[in-house]
Amino acid sequence: MPKVSIVVAAYNAAPFIADMILSVKNQIFEDWELVIVDDGSVDDTSAIVRKFAEEDSRIFLLKQKNAGAVIARNVAFSESRGEYIVILDADDRILPEKLLLQVGLLDAQPRYGVVYGDTWFCDDRMNRVELESKKYPLNHVSGDVFEKIVLGNLFAVHSAMVRRICIENVGLHDEEKEVIADWDFWVRVAERYCFFGHKEVVAEYRFHTAMSAKSDGAKLQLKQRVNVVGRIEKLERFFGLPRSVKGDFYFATARFAHKFGFLKEAFHYYVKAIFLFPLNWKAYVGCVFLIERRIKNIL
């Protein structure tokens, strides 16, 4: 049984998937399996994976009719066997030291359910552009991160390694609702387990036009976020959060809606933020901007 399972959902990933597989094969730590689910691709994704699988018994290919990345990831996890899990997208890469470093951390630190590191943000050719820790310097935190992660995701999914028992206890992805899958998952893990963020860079994240964060429309992205907000509101630990944190929680969604021009939704969440924490001055500023814009439109 492998120590680590890397699970991948792939759809029409032929331009990138060999690069991803090679990044796994180049790991210093060798006790791993790579489980790839081809989610109904119509390009050469399966053929490329099959060639690698024929040469390396640690690589497994599963195929299904197109059902979406969330279901494909769940299938990959259900077929995996490792004690530790890495979720990797077909268009990204992990660096050679990642598995060795993070297996060592989880083995030595049983109080942590998740360890995660830094990530290079790259262009479509994988030229390194910026470190995640430089762009979001306040995101890399350790310990009980629940209050922080309910405001938004903290790290690239493949920069992390999570214990299998954590996923078995909270579930991986909800197949019934449209949500920001990574954020929803990490929030549920953070409700019950501690995280450890280390400074070492372990992943590369590719930005390109076909990625879901680019191709999904603004309306769908807002719907996904609002659905996660609704799920978080039902979590037991959410009820016990300080009112200031709840205010920031609703302000973050208001700002997201405002950014994409959904003014009605933005106003709704600004008001909720103010109601929860009247000293949240940023929410008042957001409301003023929306009211001014509404008046201009009327005039």
Final residue in a domain of this structure, among 214, 234, 268: 214
pLDDT single digits (tens) 119-158? 999 999 999 999 999 999 999 999 999 999 999 999 999 9
User: Is residue 36 located within the same domain as residue 79?
Assistant: yes
pTM for the model stands at 0.93
190 is a domain residue: yes
Is pLDDT above 90 for 294?
no
- Calculate helix-pair angle for 17-25, 45-55, nearest 10 degrees: 20
Distance, in Å, from the CA atom of 44 to the CA atom of 62, rounded to the nearest integer, reads 14
DSSP 113-134: EEEEEEEEEE-TT--EEEEHHH
Structural domain total, the chain: 2
User: Is residue 56 located within the same domain as residue 201?
Assistant: yes
Banded pLDDT at 298 (limits 50, 70, 90):
low
pLDDT single digits (tens) 47-57? 999 999 999 99
User: Is residue 262 located within the same domain as residue 126?
Assistant: no
161 is a domain residue: yes
User: Is residue 24 located within the same domain as residue 97?
Assistant: yes
193 is a domain residue: yes
228 is a domain residue: no
Distance, in Å, from the CA atom of 216 to the CA atom of 235, rounded to the nearest integer, reads 27
User: Is residue 283 located within the same domain as residue 136?
Assistant: no
User: Is residue 276 located within the same domain as residue 193?
Assistant: no
Q: Locate 38 and state its tokens.
A: 């081809």
pLDDT single digits (tens) 244-263? 999 999 999 999 999 998 99
User: Is residue 138 located within the same domain as residue 268?
Assistant: no
Domain that holds residue 252: 242-298
171 is a domain residue: yes
137 is a domain residue: yes
User: Is residue 255 located within the same domain as residue 165?
Assistant: no
pLDDT single digits (tens) 178-191? 899 999 999 999 99
233 is a domain residue: no
Alpha helices in 2-110 (DSSP H): 17-25, 45-55, 69-79, 98-108
**CB-CB neighbours of 289 under 10 Å:** 14
User: Is residue 192 located within the same domain as residue 278?
Assistant: no
- Do residues 206 and 122 make contact, with C-beta atoms less than 8 angstroms apart? yes
Q: What is the CATH number of the domain that holds 163?
A: 3.90.550.10
Percent of the chain with pLDDT over 90: 89
221 is a domain residue: no
User: Is residue 35 located within the same domain as residue 134?
Assistant: yes
